[in-house]
Amino acid sequence: MVSFINSHQSIEHRSGSITNQAHTGNFFLGMRNIARKGIHYWQKLNAANVPAELIENGQNRVIDASLTLIRERAKLKGELVRALGGALASSSLLGVPLGHNSSFLQGPAFAPPRIREAIWCGSTNATTEEGKELNDPRVLTDVGDVPVQEIRDCGVDDDRLMKIISESVKLVMEEDPLRPLVLGGDHSISFPVVRAVSEKIGGPVDILHLDAHPDIYHSFEGNKYSHASPFARIMEGGYARRLLQVGLRSITSEGREQGKRFGVEQYEMRTFSRDRHILENLKLGEGVKGVYISLDVDCLDPAFAPGVSHIEPGGLSFRDVLNILHNLQADVVAADVVEFNPQRDTVDGMTAMVAAKLVRELTAKMSKMKN
């Protein structure tokens, strides 16, 4: 079996990774400051009357180069999967390392490489619980990351950045049978991803959203692209027919009002024991062209996943989540795993392994082989 296809397999095992937490924290802080300085630098150029055309042309070149890399990698992986034959649907990882729309900590920007490292770290085998082999490119490929920080460093604003993310997702979907499995990043990425999926398949999707929070504020702290608002943008845009939110335990009156406004089915943890049978026997997607799964790692109780920005006790167990996913009857056309924060993953990469396991099991749910 061809092995080079998963080119983001870990170059180094956990034993060779940076383990000094203070050093790691300084690294993350430095990277975030670099990104902020880049934005401020371009704002100063605008203020200094540097020709707008010069800046825009430069931005366009960077964006075109970024999309070209995603396009060509997706094309290569799609060609290989088709040449191997037998795949009806194949999961393909796409990283979106975005953290600046987080209202608290921005560490999720650094999650995609940590998740990849954990997937391939060697501490476990490459077989999912349902028996699918991740080493088979017909099951899982990887097209790399959208270079979010490099694009922002050129002064590109969020309106344009969200369109770039959507376009990147569409480039993956153009290479049948690839289906995007997106690694966040904070939860703001779900809006451009779902938008792209809906537009590409030609209609709304049903969404299964697992999270401690409903993320449906109209706008949070004045930011319409906040990680607390993606599902408001999704529902306003008509990109989802049905939205089920599971694991909720930090929900405000606005969250409930917005839920009623958009007809969201909200399942709170305080009634989980009553709702368990329903949630472990879901059937979604009838009458639409596919189902989307958005999995915020903080849907889990922090005992299972402490490496998140917003720690909310009283959440789902890891097996609760797997039972919901494994038993779900649906054609899952795309998914995301978001809000893992490596800066808080202090227990020897425990949450990275949890996020990686979620990715592995979502891969098995999305990929399909001919009988």
* Euclidean distance between CA atoms 193 and 76, whole angstroms: 21
Q: What is the pLDDT of residue 310?
A: 95
58, two tokens: 């430069």
* Interval 184-203 mean pLDDT: 98
3-state secondary structure of 307: coil
Q: Is there a domain that residue 316 lies in?
A: yes
Residue 47 within a domain: no
For the record, the structure tokens of 18 come out as 């940076």
> Is 329 a member of any domain?
yes
pLDDT band at 228 (very low <50, low <70, confident <90, very high): very high
* Mean pLDDT over each residue of the chain, to the nearest integer: 90
Q: Which residue has the higher pLDDT, 20 or 71?
A: 71
Is 177 domain-assigned?
A: yes
The pTM assigned to this predicted structure is 0.89
Q: How far apart are CA 187 and CA 267, in angstroms?
A: 19
Domain count, the chain: 1
Write out the residue range of the structural domain in which residue 135 sits: 52-369
Backbone φ, ψ for residue 91 (5° rounding): -70, 140
pLDDT reported for residue 16: 39
Give a yes or no: residue 296 inside a domain.
yes
**Phi and psi at residue 259, in whole multiples of 5°?**
-60, -45
Predicted local distance difference test score (pLDDT) of residue 1: 42
pLDDT value at residue 21: 44
Region 131-152: mean pLDDT is: 97
Does some domain include residue 178? Answer: yes
- In which band, very low, low, confident or very high, does the pLDDT at 50 lie, cut at 50, 70 and 90? confident
The CATH number of residue 169's host domain is 3.40.800.10
Summarised one tens digit per residue, pLDDT across range 329-371 is 999 999 999 999 999 998 889 999 999 999 999 999 999 999 8
Please report whether residue 10 resides in a domain: no
Structure confidence at residue 184 (pLDDT) = 97
Q: Which of 8-17, 117-126, 302-311 has the lowest mean pLDDT?
A: 8-17
The per-residue pLDDT for 367 is 98
pLDDT tens per residue across span 262-303:
999 999 999 999 999 999 999 999 999 999 999 999 999 999
pLDDT reported for residue 346: 83
- Confirm whether 12 is domain-assigned: no
Exposed, middle or buried: residue 33 (CB in 10 Å: 0-12, 13-18, 19+)?
A: exposed
DSSP H helices, the chain, are: 21-47, 52-84, 111-119, 148-152, 158-173, 190-201, 230-236, 253-262, 272-279, 318-327, 350-366
